Structure 1
Amino acid sequence: MPEYRVLRIEEQMYGCEELPAGQPVLCDVVLEGTDGACCTLPYPDKELTRLGIDEGSRVHLLPDGTLQKISEELL
């Protein structure tokens, strides 16, 4: 399972446009893999908070595109 470090979390800019009803606020999560390659993943802000994922967190990117925080005890 690929492991990444969260480099940055930035709320997506919506400008003067409002989100469509029922649409979650998304953040762009910049991930750095163990090979140094980076990728950006849009992810719901509330889910990042629920999972306790912050900048500097270590995470797994699951096959379904969801993130799983790696417990500090495992590092």
Structure 2
Amino acid sequence: MTRDPLQEALLAAHAIDDRRALVALYRDAADLAYSAQDIDKECFFLTHAWIFALETDHELVHELFARLDRNGRV
């Protein structure tokens, strides 16, 4: 089984506990799910990105929350 580059990057960031990178990577995954019109998958990834953003005081925390809120997931 081969993994796509985003999945590889997510696994690598988890392996070294790079939470700031995980924010961006999970947001990227959410963007891909949004493009595929898979709102449940988008929100799954957004939730992960938001949690890591909260933990790291990331500048995207409000943007991620707003996206979750627009989808009724808050």
Does the TM-score normalized on the shorter chain lie above 0.5?
A: no
Structure number with the bigger relative contact order (C-alpha 8 A, sep ≥ 6) is: 1
Larger Rg: 1
**TM-score, normalising length: structure 1:** 0.29
Instruction: Decide which structure has greater strand share.
Output: 1
- TM-score normalised to structure 2 length: 0.29
Structure richer in helix, relative to its length: 2
